[in-house]
Amino acid sequence: MRVLAFEDHVDIEAVLISGGVSLSELQFEQRWSSEDALHHIDRFRPDVLLLDHFMPPMTGLEVLDALLKSVDAGTVVRPAIVVAMSSEPSCNDAMVARGADHGIVKPHVATLDLWP
Protein backbone atom coordinates (compact mmCIF):
# COMPACT_ATOMS: atom_id res chain seq x y z
CA MET A 1 0.00 0.00 0.00
CA ARG A 2 1.35 3.39 -1.01
CA VAL A 3 0.72 6.15 1.56
CA LEU A 4 1.42 9.84 0.99
CA ALA A 5 1.06 12.24 3.92
CA PHE A 6 0.98 16.03 3.77
CA GLU A 7 1.80 17.24 7.29
CA ASP A 8 4.12 20.07 8.29
CA HIS A 9 4.79 19.44 12.01
CA VAL A 10 4.12 15.87 13.12
CA ASP A 11 6.10 12.83 11.95
CA ILE A 12 3.20 10.71 10.69
CA GLU A 13 5.39 7.63 10.23
CA ALA A 14 6.18 7.80 13.97
CA VAL A 15 2.47 8.22 14.79
CA LEU A 16 1.66 5.10 12.76
CA ILE A 17 4.45 3.06 14.35
CA SER A 18 3.55 4.15 17.90
CA GLY A 19 -0.06 3.23 17.12
CA GLY A 20 0.93 -0.31 16.19
CA VAL A 21 0.83 -0.04 12.40
CA SER A 22 3.46 -2.22 10.72
CA LEU A 23 5.17 -0.31 7.94
CA SER A 24 6.55 -3.47 6.33
CA GLU A 25 3.69 -3.53 3.82
CA LEU A 26 3.61 0.24 3.27
CA GLN A 27 5.52 2.50 0.94
CA PHE A 28 5.36 5.68 2.95
CA GLU A 29 6.28 9.23 1.99
CA GLN A 30 5.70 12.44 3.92
CA ARG A 31 5.78 15.92 2.45
CA TRP A 32 6.40 18.64 5.01
CA SER A 33 4.62 21.33 2.96
CA SER A 34 1.86 21.33 0.38
CA GLU A 35 4.04 22.98 -2.24
CA ASP A 36 3.61 21.17 -5.57
CA ALA A 37 1.08 18.85 -3.92
CA LEU A 38 -0.54 17.70 -7.16
CA HIS A 39 2.86 16.92 -8.66
CA HIS A 40 3.72 14.71 -5.66
CA ILE A 41 0.33 13.00 -5.75
CA ASP A 42 0.69 12.29 -9.47
CA ARG A 43 4.31 11.13 -9.12
CA PHE A 44 3.82 8.88 -6.08
CA ARG A 45 0.30 7.65 -6.97
CA PRO A 46 -0.74 6.85 -3.41
CA ASP A 47 -3.45 4.40 -2.46
CA VAL A 48 -3.97 6.45 0.70
CA LEU A 49 -3.60 10.23 0.88
CA LEU A 50 -3.37 11.80 4.35
CA LEU A 51 -4.09 15.54 4.46
CA ASP A 52 -3.45 17.90 7.35
CA HIS A 53 -5.54 21.05 7.21
CA PHE A 54 -3.21 23.70 8.61
CA MET A 55 -0.10 23.64 6.43
CA PRO A 56 1.57 26.00 4.00
CA PRO A 57 1.27 27.13 1.31
CA MET A 58 -2.13 25.47 0.67
CA THR A 59 -4.42 24.09 3.36
CA GLY A 60 -5.50 20.48 3.17
CA LEU A 61 -8.91 21.66 1.98
CA GLU A 62 -7.29 23.61 -0.86
CA VAL A 63 -5.18 20.57 -1.80
CA LEU A 64 -8.32 18.41 -1.80
CA ASP A 65 -10.21 20.90 -3.98
CA ALA A 66 -7.30 21.09 -6.45
CA LEU A 67 -7.00 17.29 -6.49
CA LEU A 68 -10.69 16.77 -7.21
CA LYS A 69 -10.62 19.36 -10.01
CA SER A 70 -7.61 17.60 -11.54
CA VAL A 71 -9.33 14.23 -11.22
CA ASP A 72 -12.41 15.64 -12.99
CA ALA A 73 -10.14 17.04 -15.71
CA GLY A 74 -8.48 13.64 -16.10
CA THR A 75 -4.98 14.89 -15.28
CA VAL A 76 -4.51 13.10 -11.93
CA VAL A 77 -5.73 9.74 -10.62
CA ARG A 78 -7.66 10.00 -7.35
CA PRO A 79 -6.17 8.00 -4.49
CA ALA A 80 -8.49 5.19 -3.41
CA ILE A 81 -8.70 6.67 0.10
CA VAL A 82 -8.36 10.32 1.13
CA VAL A 83 -8.10 10.97 4.87
CA ALA A 84 -8.52 14.38 6.50
CA MET A 85 -6.31 14.26 9.59
CA SER A 86 -6.33 17.68 11.20
CA SER A 87 -6.07 18.18 14.95
CA GLU A 88 -9.25 20.26 14.59
CA PRO A 89 -12.36 18.05 14.06
CA SER A 90 -14.30 20.82 12.27
CA CYS A 91 -11.57 21.00 9.62
CA ASN A 92 -11.83 17.24 9.11
CA ASP A 93 -15.60 17.57 8.78
CA ALA A 94 -15.15 20.27 6.13
CA MET A 95 -12.80 18.05 4.10
CA VAL A 96 -15.16 15.07 4.36
CA ALA A 97 -18.01 17.31 3.17
CA ARG A 98 -15.86 18.26 0.15
CA GLY A 99 -14.93 14.69 -0.79
CA ALA A 100 -12.47 13.11 1.65
CA ASP A 101 -13.38 9.55 2.60
CA HIS A 102 -12.49 9.76 6.29
CA GLY A 103 -11.85 12.42 8.88
CA ILE A 104 -9.88 11.68 12.03
CA VAL A 105 -8.03 13.65 14.66
CA LYS A 106 -4.36 13.34 13.75
CA PRO A 107 -3.08 11.46 16.84
CA HIS A 108 -5.61 8.68 16.10
CA VAL A 109 -4.72 8.10 12.44
CA ALA A 110 -3.22 4.69 13.31
CA THR A 111 -6.66 3.50 14.49
CA LEU A 112 -8.20 3.64 11.01
CA ASP A 113 -9.32 0.23 9.71
CA LEU A 114 -7.42 0.62 6.46
CA TRP A 115 -3.92 -0.40 7.64
CA PRO A 116 -2.65 -3.88 6.74
Written in H, E and C, the secondary structure of the chain is: CEEEEECCCCCHHHHHHHCCCCHHHCEEEEECCCCCHHHHHHHHCCCEEEECCCCCCCCHHHHHHHHHHHHHHCCCCCCCEEEECCCCHHHHHHHHHHCCCEECCHHHHHHCCCCC
Per the structure, the complete domain to which residue 85 belongs is given by 2-111
pTM > 0.85: yes
- Give the domain CATH number at 64: 3.40.50.2300
74 domain residue, yes or no:
yes
- Residue 22: predicted pLDDT: 96
Please state the domain count of the chain.
Answer: 1
116 domain residue, yes or no:
no
- Residue 6: predicted pLDDT: 98
- Residue 49: predicted pLDDT: 99
88 domain residue, yes or no:
yes
60 domain residue, yes or no:
yes
87 domain residue, yes or no:
yes
- Residue 11: predicted pLDDT: 98
User: Residues 88-108: pLDDT tens digits?
Assistant: 999 999 999 999 999 999 999
- Residue 56: predicted pLDDT: 93
Given a cut of 70, the residues of the chain with pLDDT beneath it are: none
